[in-house]
Structure 1
Amino acid sequence: MSNQAQEAREALGARLRGFRKDAGFASGRAFALATGWAESKVSRIENGKQNASEQDIRVWCTRTNKQDHVEDLVATVRHIDELWLEWRRQLEKGAEKRQEAALPVYSKTKVFRIWHPTLMWGTLQTSAYAAETFKQVRDFYEIPDDTEAATAKRLERQQYLYRGDRIFNVLLAEQALYTNFGGPEVMKGQLDRLLAVMRLPRLSLGIVPRSAPTHIWPGNSFSMFDDKLVLVETYSAEFSVTQPREIELYTKAFTLLKRSAVYGTAVRDLIFTAIQHYDQMPTD
């Protein structure tokens, strides 16, 4: 969980602990007996180790005679949930809706800072490459197959590469050139796409060579939208970073990653080498 979400959960737990004590329940065990919950559940909620559900909040406030706080605390719980969104919940009806949800964020952003250590950034993907990624998403999360629709929505983002005065600072690790989605032909098409878009005036494409000295460990991929939002993806969830001091850490990380990157002719050389690699692979 992001630090911001964890801090919010701990603060909520401390507040609920205060309600319990004010109501005369001297221990978590006494409160557990009154609610019919396990004592461990009370302890975990109060110490920020477990999410309180909206129903938990209503029961807690009823037992402690704090019903006037229900609306505020339910809003807090929903905010915590928004900070850490489980992929399965986001993707339960397929991947298209998640791709569509990104479009308003892109339309409002002026400066993008993108780091992908293992694959191509979605906005630079070809349709064939994107479709292969969505097939893996479908299989991994066992969600409905809407690959075609999700791919189309992802490709809609590309309009922002050509419109307005947006600035795109994109960093890929060299591994992204070799992570094989769909075989040699799909990968060569994707690498050709990189060669084409790197000529765009407002796109800065850097690649961190695999042997480059590092100034910070690669970490997870992340996308920064101005200085307002950072999205970080893991296997289980996507979380949003909005707290200024946390955003500053990602800004610092991006700066350190950028120190290891090469640009221009060196990038083209790395891409051509990767294309030669796929030329030598069997296509079957």
Structure 2
Amino acid sequence: MPSDADIRSWTLHCGVPDQAADLIATARGIDSAYVEWRRIERPGLKHAQESIRPLFERTRRFRMYQSWVVPGLLQTPAYTKTVLETIVKLRGAIDDVEDAVAVRMDRQRVLHTGHHRFAVVIEEWVLRSVIGDAEVMAAQLGQLIAVATTPAISLGIIPLGTIRGGGWPTESFTIYDDAQVNVELVSAHLTVTSPGGIAEYARAFTELESLAVYGAAARALVIAAITSLG
């Protein structure tokens, strides 16, 4: 592997010293940038949940976009249990779901310390996708209404039928401060640490949050989703 000094010398020689920071970040993260879920979850789902605890504790500003499911930090125990049980079935992970749920619920303490800020944007169809059953989903939607009143959390929902400009639906991702981006792919977990890559996701988040509705309008969408459950 080239050293940081090697990369700086090479980019200077090529007349593009401004690209050094991105290339250094890429080189440093080459082994961890793209990791298959099976590798991450091989020691168990509890271990996978515990492994990201330090990242959550040191991050002060979270920007989250979810196009699949409700973000983990806002999930109820029953909703999390259903999601993790599905992972066990689909990916053959170790079935330590109960322990993994407990770890994820404990991690939600960061919502209330006063040291962190959370900007969350989700697509309305996440509210309409029934995870578990109607009872599990109704409780989860009720939880969204409750957490939206937390001072540290800004919850935005992009309504169905919104005319999309630059804020196209994309893979789910979280931006941790300006230090890294974690992206959820079907088969793997992607970590972006290059300044240029982080900036791309930051721009995408800005576009997406501009399409979302907040406050009473967001609550109305959640309530409508609860009503649709019958």
Equivalent AA in structure 2 for residue 221 of structure 1: S
Q: Which residue of 1 aligns with 2:200?
A: 249
Q: Which residue of 1 aligns with 2:184?
A: 233
Equivalent AA in structure 2 for residue 91 of structure 1: E
User: Which structure's relative contact order is higher, taking Cα pairs within 8 Å and 6+ residues apart?
Assistant: 2
Number of paired residues? 207
Question: Contact (CA 8 Å) 1:169, 1:205: kept in 2 or not?
Answer: yes
1:276 & 1:247 partners in 2: Cα distance? 38
Give the share of equivalent positions with the same residue, in percent.
39
2:27 & 2:154 partners in 1: Cα distance? 39
Taking structure 1 as the reference length, the TM-score comes to: 0.70
List aligned pairs for 1:130-279, cutoff 5 A: 130-215=80-165, 216-278=167-229
Q: Which residue of 2 aligns with 1:52?
A: none
Q: CA deviation at 1:165?
A: 2.4
2:93 & 2:196 partners in 1: Cα distance? 36
Equivalent AA in structure 2 for residue 88 of structure 1: R
2:54 & 2:219 partners in 1: Cα distance? 32
Equivalent AA in structure 2 for residue 271 of structure 1: V
Q: Which residue of 1 aligns with 2:21?
A: none
Q: CA deviation at 1:246?
A: 0.7
1:181 & 1:120 partners in 2: Cα distance? 10
Question: Contact (CA 8 Å) 2:29, 2:193: kept in 1 or not?
Answer: no
1:78 & 1:91 partners in 2: Cα distance? 23
1:270 & 1:91 partners in 2: Cα distance? 34
Q: CA deviation at 1:239?
A: 1.0
Q: CA deviation at 1:81?
A: 2.2
Gapped regions of structure 1 (runs ≥ 5)? 1-75
| RMSD, matched Cα | 1.9
Question: Contact (CA 8 Å) 1:95, 1:146: kept in 2 or not?
Answer: yes
Gapped regions of structure 2 (runs ≥ 5)? 1-25
Where 2:32 maps in the other structure, the secondary structure is: helix
Q: Which residue of 1 aligns with 2:4?
A: none
Taking structure 2 as the reference length, the TM-score comes to: 0.86
Decide which structure has the larger Cα Rg and report it: 1
Q: Which residue of 1 aligns with 2:22?
A: none
